[in-house]
Amino acid sequence: MSQTVRFALIGTGNISGIHAEAIRDIPGAELTAAYSLAGMDAFCTKWGCSPTASLEALLARTDVDAVCITTPSGMHGEPAIAALNAGKHVLCEKPIEITVEKIDAMLAAAAASGCILSAVFQSRFGEGARTVKKAVDEGRFGRLTLCSAYIKWFRTQAYYDSGAWRGTWEIDGGGALMNQGVHAIDLLTWFAGVPCEVKAHMATLAHERIAVEDTAVAALKFPSGALGVVEGATSAYPGWNKRVELSGDKGSVILEDDEIKFWQFEEERPEDAKIRSGGGANIGGGAANPLAIGTEGHRRQIEDLCNAIREKRQPAIGGRDARNAVAVIRAIYKSAQTGETVAVV
């Protein structure tokens, strides 16, 4: 811990408290400042950091090494690029941005600055998720055949009514897929790779006064030839745990939140019985409550970012990785809107 990594937060809405608590729990990390258009003073009083009058003033501070961006989804790009240009490392809440064009601009700024750009996908840091990834990398599935993600969550009308940006294309970037389903879709692309094309349908079935989907389905085709589906919803009362299923000609796995619910391979290994006995990180899923996610996943990811800064390496989840889930979701939206099969780019 030769270097304390000093953080600032841009945005002090609901998720900012998760970041602040996670930073507090990491040796060698410190929250020094925050900037927000609303709620900043109360947040800074609670978490013992300094309020800052403007974004420019925040980025000029010499006691800030990295910023966590916790603004609404479609408001990540501008402060992220400004922070990178100011020589600060950046961690964006999911999704990293809501269009691939904005993400590509952020990636270009990161490359020019030499600073780290990352996005929060805390589900990757669960023991269950890492166990599945290891099995994929070791080829235990044989040839992958079916790779699917299911996000049957629920959000009340009051959730959408709680902020003018919620349920909008302009700032939320979409609905059940872009805001809620992005975590499971990220896991799916991490495990199986990015689909090459999608065919989709979407609808708004259970909510009023929102422009975006609360229910969506998509068929996926992967470059390997594997097929799959995505089901995403905030219309499925009472809300189920997110689930990723992988099947191949040598084995199959079901991961539900971070719990391995099914684990069977043609070639049994000594560790398989223990894996089937259960266990996983306390990551939390938010199936019915967006704040019921715990801080452990964020703590692990921010700790990895701190170590990456000290070791001058890329973090476990780089900005280009974070682009993948958004590219898939944007292709799903385009397919649903046009009725055509759409390539993921």
* DSSP-assigned letters across all residues of 31-44: EEEEE-SSSHHHHH
Position 288 scores a pLDDT of 76
Please check whether residue 160 is in contact with residue 207, taking contact to mean a CB–CB distance below 8 angstroms: yes
Residue in 292, 20, 305, 72 with CA at minimum distance from that of residue 178: 72
Q: Specify whether 98 is located in the same domain as 220.
A: no
Please check whether residue 149 is in contact with residue 117, taking contact to mean a CB–CB distance below 8 angstroms: no
> For 239-265, what is each residue's pLDDT tens digit?
999 999 999 999 999 999 999 999 999
Q: Specify whether 263 is located in the same domain as 338.
A: yes
Residue in 122, 177, 120 with CA at minimum distance from that of residue 153: 177
Position 287 scores a pLDDT of 80
**Tokens standing for 141?**
């599935």
Q: Specify whether 101 is located in the same domain as 189.
A: no
CA gap 285, 189 in Å, rounded: 18
Q: Specify whether 156 is located in the same domain as 116.
A: no
Helix (H/G/I), strand (E/B), else coil: 165: coil
**Tokens standing for 184?**
């499971």
Q: Specify whether 224 is located in the same domain as 268.
A: yes
Position 291 scores a pLDDT of 64
**Tokens standing for 66?**
């990295």
- CATH number for position 338: 3.30.360.10
Domain count, the chain: 2
Q: Specify whether 244 is located in the same domain as 310.
A: no
Cα 76 vs. chain centroid, distance in angstroms?
A: 13
Q: Specify whether 150 is located in the same domain as 299.
A: no
Position 2 scores a pLDDT of 60
Position 281 scores a pLDDT of 56
Position 325 scores a pLDDT of 98
Contacts of 105 (CB under 8 A, 6+ apart): 77, 81
Count other Cβ atoms within 10 Å, centred on residue 159. 16
CA gap 237, 254 in Å, rounded: 22
Preceding peptide of 290 cis, ω within 30° = no
Q: Which domain holds residue 14?
A: 5-122+295-316
Q: Specify whether 131 is located in the same domain as 260.
A: yes
Backbone region of residue 313 per phi and psi (left: phi > 0; alpha: psi in -120 to 50; beta: other values):
beta
Position 241 scores a pLDDT of 95
Q: Which portions of the chain are predicted below pLDDT 50?
A: 1
Continuous segment of H or E residues that includes residue 188: helix 182-192
> For 279-319, what is each residue's pLDDT tens digit?
655 566 678 777 667 899 999 999 999 999 999 999 999 99
Q: Specify whether 130 is located in the same domain as 258.
A: yes
- What is the phi/psi pair of residue 245, to 5°? -120, 130
Q: Specify whether 101 is located in the same domain as 210.
A: no
Residue in 1, 8, 20, 26 with CA at minimum distance from that of residue 66: 8
Using the CB atoms, write b or e for 217-230: b if 16+ within 10 Å.
bbbbbbeeebebbb
Q: Specify whether 133 is located in the same domain as 260.
A: yes
Position 1 scores a pLDDT of 45
Q: Specify whether 333 is located in the same domain as 192.
A: yes
